[in-house]
Amino acid sequence: MVKVTVYQKPTCTTCREVYSALKESGVDFDAVNYYLDPIPKEKLKELIRKMGITARDLVRTKEPIYKELKLGTRELSESEIVDLMVKHPDLIQRPIVEKGSKAILARPAKRIKEIL
């Protein structure tokens, strides 16, 4: 059985919805609060690759840190964006659900069905 891992912020409404949906479905999964257990740079790059998106696609643009760092107007490499997300977890869209060789951004929460 392939393990499911959810990278989340427990106070996030969408994260709680995904957590509840997985529990109700009887799915065995690990929940990682990436504020307490930061996602290492290499793992974050792997998740981005598995989702088939760019690092910029994973950035939360409505966070105050996004505006503070002026990320909307700066030209940054994928690696630089990942470094910023590792340093400032508020920049990471959530929840990320990983299962084997696939990962999705479970936003909205009903997208969880795509990976189960």
Q: Does residue 114 contact residue 104 with C-beta atoms inside 8 Å?
A: yes
Residue whose C-alpha is closest to residue 38's, from 89, 73, 72, 83: 89
Distance separating alpha carbons of residues 107 and 99, to the nearest angstrom: 16
**Which is catalytic among the residues 4, 10, 12, 68?**
12
- Residue 12 annotated as catalytic: yes
Q: Does residue 82 contact residue 53 with C-beta atoms inside 8 Å?
A: no
Q: Would you please indicate which residues are annotated as catalytic (active-site) residues?
A: 12
